[in-house]
Chain A
Amino acid sequence: MDIIGVGSVPVVIMNGFFTGAVMGLQLSRALATYGATGQIGQLVAITLVRELGPVLTAIMIAGRNGSGIASELGSMKVTEQIDAMRALGTDPIQKLVTPRLIATAVMLPLLTIVADFMGLFGGFVISMVLLNITAAQYWSTAWRALQYNDVVQGLLKPFAFAIVIALVGCYYGMNTTGGTQGVGRATTQAVVVAFIWIIVITFFIGRIFVNLG
């Protein structure tokens, strides 16, 4: 949990802040066309909490921790440490997979919350500096825009992504063959497959919540 959660905080803060700032920057031009720059908080909040926060954080964690899980377990596999674990009478699933799954499932939603707040803050900095929007206006529109539905899907998604990232990383790691070259291959496969699943899952969860209204 320490490595996956606390270790990822700086990168998630950076990622979240600049995502929000870039959104603020880009949306300000479009909103200015309609004279609606005052609604920037609303747009940043909805986009971040529903989609970008969970997806970008999951992609960061897949790249940072999914790859780490695959390469660590892959190295253990090719150096016979997993065989040793089984031979010594212990279950590698229980010893290696379960803790990583729990750690990722607990930490990714929390990291997503951090990323969402940092993104909102990034959007706020841009709004205040470039658009002269007051803090009260920005935060009140942002807060009022969010509904129960948005928060639920914004937390459900990272939970689903976490399961995918951990299981994909463990699967490719524990099925590594072919020495150190195989470890590299397993790591790449784990990251690519996790990325694809993240995009696919976000679509389907998004679809369900759109239908729910």
Chain B
Amino acid sequence: MILASEHEAQSSPAQGSRGEVLRFDNVTVRFDQETALDAVSFSMSAGETRILLGAAGSGKTVLIKTAVGLIRADAGRVYLFGTDITDMDERHLFDLRAKVGILFQEGGLFDSMTIEENVAYPLVNQRARTPMPAEVVQEKVLEALSFVELERTVAQFPSELSGGMRRRVGIARAVVTEPPLVLYDSPTAGLDPITATTIMALIVKERDLRNTAAVVATHRYQDGQLMANFRYNPQRGALERVSSDGKNGLKTTFMVMRDGRIAFEGSEAELESSTDPYIAKFVKR
């Protein structure tokens, strides 16, 4: 058994670089003979946004799950909030994961629970969290649901909601604990363009209101463009375009995955100027 103090001792040497929330050092993940992630390395700091583009099966979901130890790396090291989680036992990981919000590709909502119970789940069940009175939990749940404009669904079950609404409830559950890092796995997959834009607007709003770091895995370039070029204006209660000259205050980095490898990492301008045919496929010219 590894003690918490030992985990602290395993902290990354680069942890000294203040505000680093996630780092992959040559991470490789294999399933049987297939390599899902191949020597992936990157790091992201607090408040930064990473847009993860890539074709289906390129390793986006595996990367997100590896980031919180749901899938274990076969080689390399993963650092979450500066702590090496590569070999960390599940018990200690629970406490660290409590600081991360995740929106799953398949939703991951508990279908035997109401929407209220789903959103309240992390508040009520996380061991790392100090128990709170039921009325405080309810207040936070309503706040999170009102954030995604679904406060009227509290008594309903996930099966009674549309795909877009379920995705929004997933966002509410991911952010109800106000985590400093949120991972979104294909938040717009399978949704119509209007609903997809609504979902992305919520993600931008969450990022800007709470200054969270976000990883957004998607196959839609326009999702990344929205994250990179729009900011939520709390006064107007709407998104507004900001200049895309790189001095807009938004720290957005694009990554393109290909067969488990990072084929590209850079800014929107660098991505758009890439001549690689695979990378160019994701850019709407």
Residues of A within 8 A of B (CB): 76, 78-81, 83-91, 95
Contacts and interface: CB of A to CB of B under 8 A. Distances in A.
Contacts of A76: 110
Given A83-B65, A84-B102, A90 B108 contact: no
A157 B107 CA distance: 41
A83 B105 CA distance: 11
Contact of A88 (B91, B106, B107, B126): B126
Interface residues of B, number: 27
Interface in B11-68: 65, 68
Nearest to A177: B31
Nearest to A86: B70
Given A88-B121, A90-B94, A90-B121, 18 more contacts: A78-B106, A80-B104, A80-B107, A80-B108, A81-B108, A81-B109, A83-B108, A84-B109, A86-B70, A86-B94, A86-B97, A89-B122, A89-B125, A89-B129, A90-B127, A91-B91, A91-B94, A95-B125
Contacts of A91: 90-91, 94
Contacts of A85: 110
Q: Among the interface residues A78, A85, A86, which one has the most CB atoms of the partner chain B within 10 A?
A: A86
Contacts of A95: 125
B100 interface: yes
Interface string B81-125: 000000000110011011010101111111100000000011001
Interface of B: 65, 68, 70, 90-91, 94-95, 97-98, 100, 102, 104-111, 121-122, 125-129, 173
Contacts of B125: 88-90, 95
A76 B106 CA distance: 11
B107 A89 contact: no
Contacts of B126: 88-90
A188 B251 CA distance: 50
The 3 closest A-B pairs by CB, nearest first: A84-B108, A89-B98, A89-B126
Contacts of B102: 84, 87-88
Contacts of A78: 106
Contacts of B95: 89
A81 B110 contact: yes
Given A79-B111, A81-B111, A87 B106 contact: no
Nearest to B98: A89
19 contacts: A76-B110, A79-B108, A79-B111, A80-B105, A80-B107, A81-B109, A81-B111, A83-B65, A84-B102, A84-B104, A86-B94, A87-B70, A87-B100, A87-B102, A88-B126, A88-B173, A90-B126, A90-B127, A91-B94
A87 to B, nearest CB: 5
A146 B87 CA distance: 55
A7 to B, nearest CB: 16
